[in-house]
Amino acid sequence: METLTNAPVLARFGYAVSDPTRARILLALASAPAYPADLADSLGVSRQSMSNHLSCLRGCGLVAAMPDGRRSRYELADARLGHAIKDLIGVVLAVDPECCAPDGDCRA
């Protein structure tokens, strides 16, 4: 396991939220811990897809699996992530449509 700080943390976070499903998972977990099956149902994705996304988020160090009997419950790896996510969703951006595509890709 490797520990990251500063810019690498932002890069990992940016990669994680670059996928809309992973962003929605993080938003859900910012509200409360959840089981993968419940997340899959509430977000309308397959359980296999949810498993893949949670694996990515675990690898990025953003979520942690907590054993709960025969199941695992997922939560944000650090409570500060929840605060940061809630702060970020309140940000309003003024974007130049000639520069950035709706998916965030820059056309510069």
What pLDDT does 107 receive? 62
What pLDDT does 92 receive? 85
Please give the average pLDDT of every successive group of 10 residues along the chain, which has 108 residues. 74 87 95 97 97 95 95 95 90 80 64
What pLDDT does 101 receive? 67
Say which DSSP state 106 is in: B
What pLDDT does 7 receive? 84
Question: How many other β-carbons are positioned within 10 Å of the β-carbon of residue 29?
Answer: 23
User: Taking a C-beta distance cutoff of 8 angstroms, is the pair 41, 1 a contact?
Assistant: no
Considering the domain delimited by 7-88, tell me its CATH architecture: Orthogonal Bundle (1.10)
Q: What is the radius of gyration, based on Cα positions, of the chain?
A: 15
What pLDDT does 2 receive? 66
What pLDDT does 28 receive? 96
Give alpha helix (H) positions in 18-73: 20-31, 36-43, 47-59
End-to-end, the C-alpha distance of the chain in Å comes to 36
